[in-house]
């Protein structure tokens, strides 16, 4: 029996020891799910604060209750470590590290490369490596196979390698980690089967595809589809404003069609860890093949300009009152990239604040999930939505529709409101104060 066949038996009997590199919003929930079904799990992270927090049974992710972390840590099935030397003792290693873009919009796979380099130093026969970080098609085969095989071990013979993209949606109460089907593609059929065997214990459905490149492309299609459709409705919002129409009314009416239409909503721009980033990974790859990704480029342009459009509309609203942006007190309501999360990565609110500050506005913000943030070296702290504070603002901009924020209270307390999310759709009074995207 080969070492990989032995590994499959260890996986199916839950005797395999699983490592998870990267204990963020993707890695920690995955590590918990593996622990729940009986695997012994070691989570690795270079951030000692995360390691120490998990050692105390305390969660640092809003979606993950500390009570759940404490229970699983106390059971002995999960522990965290900053000692990557322990990777040699893991049978299965999942890589869940960030894959951002550089300032020039090129893929930054340095975190993945560092993780794979750490694995390469400890790689042994009979191990399975699964990459989950979003990247351009071909990364696993072209970049990481050579690194790992430099150990002298052969993929598909001595060790297994697969790509299984993360599909986590923070703050989604409808679909938990295990509810979303897991896509898996390996470097060989055996690699695919081993990775699928690992995930079958956790996910309700596992979807096997023919290659790592296919699995990489699946994730990019999912988020590029969203980015392009958001770009479409954002442009629809611009057209409706020019035509004097309510874009929200148009979208809601169109959404009554029971087939052939999927509802997307406009907003102040794209934010988060995936949708603003993933299409650029594909566009970068296709540019190297002399293939222009025109839909992606157009959607990226439309979505990227939305913060400027918000500032233009705000400028017009103030001008109607014979007020200038320079010196105006503007309150931003919500700075996270989406409702009910604390993540501000790529949030359009950051660009709106920066643009307003450059025009001389006195900008403050309120966000129940983000106590403080820094924008180009300037520090901001969340302010209370006090009656005095709201009344003192010349204009409020609703950017993130957190469920904890009472839209009616904002409308009642503020002099003027620009609503980029249709958060005020159900207010009972004060509609004359509100202008929408």
Assign 172 a pLDDT band (cuts: 50, 70, 90): confident
In this prediction, residue 407 has a pLDDT band, given cuts at 50, 70 and 90, of very high
| Residue 437 buriedness (CB in 10 A; 0-12 / 13-18 / 19+) | buried
Judge whether residue 1 has pLDDT over 80. no
Mention every residue, 6+ apart, whose C-beta is less than 8 A from residue 227.
270, 275, 276, 278, 279, 296, 299, 300, 303
pLDDT in tens, 375-397: 998 999 999 999 999 999 999 99
**Lowest-pLDDT range of 191-200, 253-262, 267-276:** 267-276
Domains of the chain are 3-210 (3.40.50.720), 220-298 (1.10.1040.10), 305-436 (3.40.50.720)
Helix (H), strand (E) at residue 365? strand 362-366
pLDDT of residue 353: 98
pLDDT one-digit tens code per residue, 96-150: 999 988 878 888 999 999 999 999 999 999 999 999 999 999 999 999 999 999 9
Q: Note the pLDDT of residue 275.
A: 87
pLDDT tier, 302 (very low <50, low <70, confident <90, very high otherwise): very high
Question: What gap in Å lies between CA 404 and CA 387, rounded to an integer?
Answer: 17
Distance, in Å, from the CA atom of 43 to the CA atom of 21, rounded to the nearest integer, reads 6
Catalytic residue among 96, 191, 274, 414: 274
Residue reference for tokens 């309501």? 333
Q: What are phi and psi of 100, to 5 degrees?
A: -80, -175
Q: 159, 126 in Cβ contact below 8 A?
A: yes
Mean per-residue pLDDT of the chain: 95
Annotated catalytic, 90?
A: no
pLDDT at 150: 96
**Cα–Cα distance measured from residue 431 to residue 316, given in angstroms and rounded to the nearest whole number:** 18
Going by C-alpha positions, the residue among 144, 58, 41 that lies closest to residue 94 is 41
């Amino acid at each position: 029996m080969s070492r990989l066949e032995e590994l499959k038996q260890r996986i199916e009997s839950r005797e395999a020891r699983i490592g998870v590199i990267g204990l963020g919003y993707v890695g920690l929930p995955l590590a918990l799910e593996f622990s729940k079904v009986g695997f012994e799990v070691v989570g690795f992270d270079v951030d000692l604060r995360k390691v120490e927090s998990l050692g105390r049974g305390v969660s640092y992710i809003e979606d993950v209750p500390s009570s759940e972390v404490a229970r699983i840590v106390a059971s002995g099935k999960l522990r965290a470590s900053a000692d990557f030397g322990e990777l040699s003792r893991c049978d299965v290693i999942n890589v869940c590290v960030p894959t951002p873009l550089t300032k020039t919009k090129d893929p930054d796979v340095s975190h993945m490369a560092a993780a794979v380099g750490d694995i390469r130093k400890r790689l042994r026969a009979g191990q399975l490596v699964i990459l989950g970080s979003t990247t351009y098609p071909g990364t696993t085969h072209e970049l990481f196979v050579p690194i790992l095989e430099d150990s002298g071990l052969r993929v598909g013979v001595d060790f297994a390698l697969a790509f299984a993209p993360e599909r986590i949606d923070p703050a989604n109460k409808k679909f938990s980690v295990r509810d979303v089907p897991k896509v898996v593609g390996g470097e060989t059929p055996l690699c695919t089967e081993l990775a699928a065997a690992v995930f079958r214990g956790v996910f309700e459905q596992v979807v096997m595809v023919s290659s790592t490149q296919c699995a990489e492309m699946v994730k990019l299609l999912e988020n590029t589809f969203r980015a392009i459709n958001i770009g479409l409705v954002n442009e629809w919002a611009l057209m409706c404003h020019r035509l004097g129409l309510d874009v929200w009314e148009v979208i809601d009416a169109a959404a009554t069609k029971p087939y052939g239409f999927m509802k997307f909503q406009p907003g102040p721009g794209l934010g988060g860890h995936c949708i603003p980033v993933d299409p650029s990974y594909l566009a970068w790859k296709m540019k190297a093949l002399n293939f222009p990704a025109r839909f992606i480029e157009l959607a990226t342009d439309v979505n990227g300009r939305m913060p400027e459009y918000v500032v233009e509309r705000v400028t017009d609203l103030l001008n109607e009152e014979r007020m200038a942006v320079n010196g105006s007190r503007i309150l931003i309501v919500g700075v996270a990239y989406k409702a009910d999360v604390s993540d501000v990565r790529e949030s359009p609110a950051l660009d709106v604040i920066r643009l307003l500050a450059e025009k001389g506005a006195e900008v403050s913000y309120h966000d129940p999930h983000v106590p403080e943030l820094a924008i180009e070296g300037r520090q901001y702290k969340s302010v209370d939505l006090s009656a005095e504070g709201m009344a003192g603002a010349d204009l409020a901009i609703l950017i993130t529709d957190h469920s904890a924020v009472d839209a009616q209270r904002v409308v009642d307390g503020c002099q003027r409101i620009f609503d980029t999310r249709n958060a005020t759709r159900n207010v009972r009074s004060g509609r004359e104060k509100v202008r929408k995207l």
